[in-house]
Amino acid sequence: MNKPNYQFVLTMLFSAVFLLCDSSFAATDLQVLIKQCNSCHGPNGHTERGDVPALAGKPVSEIKAAIAQFYYFERHCPNKRPRTEKGTGSSTNMCSIASTLSDEEVAALAQFYNSH
């Protein structure tokens, strides 16, 4: 009788679980990130204040390029206070925000704001 290939079965099982979890996490994370961005950039990137630019409808390539510039400190990043439902949050800036984002998150955010 053939011995079942446990290693193969386990690898497939872990891959499936990993992929399932990964995609559901990504969807939740994107909503959390969008909420964070909106707290300065306005609802879906439609700005409501003069000191933060709009993101809505911006070309994907421009959004990605701007984030890369903040990431490398090639563009100035003034401290701003986000506005949340709970009130005013503690001040932060685009350079520290850019440093927390993965390439996948930047791509997803750029797509989102481009289409809003």
Nearer to ligand HEC, 7 or 90 (CB): 90
Nearest to 111 by CA among 35, 43, 52, 55: 55
In sequence order, what are the residues at sequence separation of 6 or more whose Cβ sits closer than 8 angstroms to the Cβ of residue 89?
Answer: 39, 81, 82, 83
Nearer to ligand HEC, 14 or 48 (CB): 48
Query: Residue 41 has which token pair?
Result: 């950039």
Nearer to ligand HEC, 5 or 91 (CB): 91
- What does the binding site for ligand HEC look like in residue numbers (CB under 6 A)? 33, 36-37, 39-41, 51-53, 55, 63, 66-67, 75-76, 78, 80, 82, 92, 94, 97, 109
